[in-house]
A and B are shown apart, each in its own frame.
Chain A
Amino acid sequence: MAEASYTTTTRLPVESIWAFVQDMDNWAHFVMGYQSHEKRSDTESRWTLKGDLGVLSRSLTFEVLITEWRAPSQVRFTLRGSNEPMSGEGAFTIESTATAAAAEPAAPAAKSIVARWLEALARWFLGLVGGRAEREAPTRATAGESLSTMQFQLRLDPGGPMAPMVNAMITPLLLPAAEQLADKILAHLEALPAGASEGEPR
């Protein structure tokens, strides 16, 4: 079993994030290795991703089933590999939190090279030791501002005789995948002009 959890914060209100993420068409292309997706019903979809181990990449197709829909704060889903013996589950959680603490420093506009290197090292280490990687991103707000948090959780269970090997291969990939999805969604929304939004809550 490989799993990752990534939590990040934003000044954006929960409702505007939800309006965007509720429609997978809005963010599907932010998923690492995204190739295509197809909505089959309100709860079912089929995704094709390119799993990239560097020396070898291959197309992976997953059947995704939404198991819980709690607007505007949480979506839970399960997934099952169509062409690989793999299953898993995950969740998007968006919550409004207290205002940023006065003592909490504002996140720098751009991470330094050292900070990025340390993050990469931490990700690699987490990937090596546990099979579970967690990270909380620096706060994207200044003191006193209202905050929302977005958390993306993902767990994959490879099956078949090679499961332990596949597990070791995919573990280092999960946290970067979670980070990429969450960060790109927020970066996209934060870049929109004030007052603009994409999608309507349902």
Chain B
Amino acid sequence: MASAPAPVPPPPSWDLEVDLVAVGSGLGGLSAAIAAHDRGLRVSVLEKAPRLGGVSGFGGGEVFVPNHHKMRELGIADSDEAGRAYFQFLSAGFADPTLQATLLANMKPAVEYMEKEAGVRWIAVEGLPDYYYSDAPGSHAGGRYLSVDLFDGKSLGEWQQKTYPMTPHVPPGALHREMYAWGGLACVTQWDFELIGQRVANDQRSFGPGMMGWFVKAAIVDRGIPAFVSTPARGLVVDGGAVVGVRAERDGRPFFVRARRGVVLSVGGYDWNRELARQFESMPDWNSACPPHLHGDHLVMAGEIGAAIGAVPPTDLALFYGYHIPGEESDGAPLHRSSWECGCPHALWVNRAGKRFCDESFYKDYQPRLRHWDGQTQSMPNLPPFLIFDQNYRDRYPLGSFMPGQPLPPELVVQADSPRALAEQLGIDADELERTLERFNEHARRGEDPDFGKGSRAWSVRLTGDQSYPNPCVGPVERAPFYGVRLVPVSVGVNSHGLRTDEHGRVQHLRGGSIGGLYAVGNSAALLDMGGGYQSGTSNMRAITWGWIAGRHAAGAV
């Protein structure tokens, strides 16, 4: 990133003058742009990447909103009170009460607005339960997730090629209900790829790319909001103590955009900024499943003018462990995949000592255990974890994009005829691995896991389970050859630190009070509204909600 004196003074002349500029074209930036435009503001969008959509276009496209309008249409019972209780459970006492109350009060109006006014076609994902169903107060058996209907990429016109048509993390062209009806992630070989192939050929998008298709169409195509790709923001222009614009870079030259009513920072997290990740995440290594555009620009630019940084406990965030398939890249950088294989039958995780340490099917259980610090040995005993699976797994389930029967790259996957030989190749305690497998298999043959409860969460069963098994997440690891993968941390762009914001999305100053003309939304804003908890779909929900709030506030509607 180019360094420059800060704050940036106003230029002699502006290259573009608008009321509000959204820095970042993910859900947060485009929601702010749509809301502000509809309130009469002139808006523009700057995007660092060569395509619009941000991290939102890379994910599964789930939006978690208790008691949303589609649940009511389907007759699925829920209540705001139950939703509030569930969020309070998730936050575990770490949330800012004002921010959480604002989030909960605005999430439903925001997603409804995007449907009624912006044409986003939401679908309720039936049967996908809350993470902590049924033991958490207010938890729900299924229906709180929203996803989108198929989106026709051709309707984007010139922007069709400047958006993400698919994400590398989920096969394209399927709806959530179809994915589960076809057997879920584990049973991807049973998916209807004839239908998917037809949809891909017609550029019918789903999941995150589909969701962002709807938002790009609403903002850029239908509303004509100017958007500039490959145009990174480099600094905030300050005048009279308030942010009045952005110094961006376009075609290698400065590009000054005046924003009379506000700048909305919606640039995601800092996955690809090694220094920030090292400082903030307290992990020995850091990799990302996201495209390589998340450099923490919000923290750098706003930090230069005295913005306050907020943090939530990192132990419970969406940190995964996974791997890099040799040769795989996205936008020119190595692509990492989070490993959900550990949630399937015939697979488990062990540490270097050859011991299991978690419910591998529920990442909320394994995250804090991965971060476990042993003060007696001054080490993190569960790092790195090793994915262990057998030939029964290989015959049934994929590893990343490698289908059953397809050769696995030896640079990634170690193969051996016995657990002992596998352990020796991976550097695991062989005696302990044999004991671990013996105990695990004894119970797994009955579909049980008394040690860690693998497969005991309805959400896990739905996501990675094979429904043909008594316990859809558990099967013995006993049939040679055996396979092992040394895993590395893989972030999905949801980081523990972000800009501290108020109930209008305004960035706070280190000395207190708001910085005039500066908003932060989505993953650029600290998760103080969520506190210590996380549930898939809440990042997208936060982005839409806070973008909508910030855009309206900048327009004077709040």
Please report A residues at the B interface, Cβ cutoff 8 Å: 50, 53-59, 82-85, 128, 160-165, 167-169, 171
Query: By the criterion of a CB under 8 Å from any partner CB, how many residues of chain B are at the interface?
Result: 37
Q: In whole Å, how far is B50's beta carbon from the nearest beta carbon of chain A?
A: 9
B189 and A161 form a contact (CB under 8 A): yes
Q: In whole Å, how far is A1's beta carbon from the nearest beta carbon of chain B?
A: 12
Partner of A165, one of B171, B202, B326: B171
Residues of A within 8 A of B325 (CB): 58
**How many angstroms between the C-alpha atoms of A171 and B203 in the bound complex?**
13
Given known A165-B197, A168-B198, contact A160–B164 (CB-CB < 8 A): no
B201 and A85 form a contact (CB under 8 A): no
B201 and A58 form a contact (CB under 8 A): no
Given A56-B330, A161-B191, 12 more pairs with CB closer than 8 A: A54-B164, A55-B291, A55-B331, A56-B335, A83-B409, A128-B201, A160-B405, A162-B171, A164-B194, A165-B172, A168-B200, A168-B201
A164 and B196 form a contact (CB under 8 A): yes
Q: In whole Å, how far is A83's beta carbon from the nearest beta carbon of chain B?
A: 6
Please report B residues at the A interface, Cβ cutoff 8 Å: 51, 58, 164-168, 171-173, 188-191, 193-194, 196-198, 200-202, 291, 325-331, 335, 401, 403, 405-407, 409
**How many angstroms between the C-alpha atoms of A128 and B198 in the bound complex?**
9
Q: In whole Å, how far is A111's beta carbon from the nearest beta carbon of chain B?
A: 19
**How many angstroms between the C-alpha atoms of A87 and B194 in the bound complex?**
19
Residues of A within 8 A of B201 (CB): 128, 168, 171
Q: In whole Å, how far is B495's beta carbon from the nearest beta carbon of chain A?
A: 22
Among A53, A57, A59, A165, the most chain B Cβ lie within 10 Å of the Cβ of A165
B330 and A59 form a contact (CB under 8 A): no
A162 and B403 form a contact (CB under 8 A): yes
A164 and B197 form a contact (CB under 8 A): yes
Given known A53-B166, A55-B164, A55-B166, contact A160–B330 (CB-CB < 8 A): no
A59 and B326 form a contact (CB under 8 A): yes
**How many angstroms between the C-alpha atoms of A168 and B173 in the bound complex?**
11
**How many angstroms between the C-alpha atoms of A9 and B202 in the bound complex?**
33
Question: Which residue on A lies nearest to B191, using beta carbons?
Answer: A161
Partner of A163, one of B172, B193, B326, B407: B193
Q: In whole Å, how far is A139's beta carbon from the nearest beta carbon of chain B?
A: 30
Question: Which residue on B lies nearest to A171, using beta carbons?
Answer: B201
**How many angstroms between the C-alpha atoms of A167 and B193 in the bound complex?**
10
Question: Which residue on B lies nearest to A85, using beta carbons?
Answer: B406
Question: Which residue on B lies nearest to A59, using beta carbons?
Answer: B327
**How many angstroms between the C-alpha atoms of A56 and B405 in the bound complex?**
22
**How many angstroms between the C-alpha atoms of A160 and B189 in the bound complex?**
9
Question: Which residue on A lies nearest to B403, using beta carbons?
Answer: A160
Given known A56-B330, A58-B325, contact A165–B168 (CB-CB < 8 A): no
Given known A54-B165, A84-B406, A128-B202, contact A165–B196 (CB-CB < 8 A): yes
Question: Which residue on A lies nearest to B401, using beta carbons?
Answer: A58
A56 and B403 form a contact (CB under 8 A): no
Q: In whole Å, how far is B82's beta carbon from the nearest beta carbon of chain A?
A: 37
A83 and B407 form a contact (CB under 8 A): yes
Residues of B within 8 A of A161 (CB): 188-191, 193, 403
Q: In whole Å, how far is A63's beta carbon from the nearest beta carbon of chain B?
A: 13
Residues of A within 8 A of B409 (CB): 83
Q: In whole Å, how far is B57's beta carbon from the nearest beta carbon of chain A?
A: 8
A58 and B329 form a contact (CB under 8 A): yes
Among B168, B171, B198, B406, the most chain A Cβ lie within 10 Å of the Cβ of B406
Partner of A167, one of B166, B168, B197, B331: B197
Question: Which residue on B lies nearest to A84, using beta carbons?
Answer: B406
Residues of B within 8 A of A57 (CB): 328-330
B326 and A55 form a contact (CB under 8 A): no
Residues of A within 8 A of B51 (CB): 54
Residues of B within 8 A of A58 (CB): 325, 327-329, 401
**How many angstroms between the C-alpha atoms of A85 and B172 in the bound complex?**
19
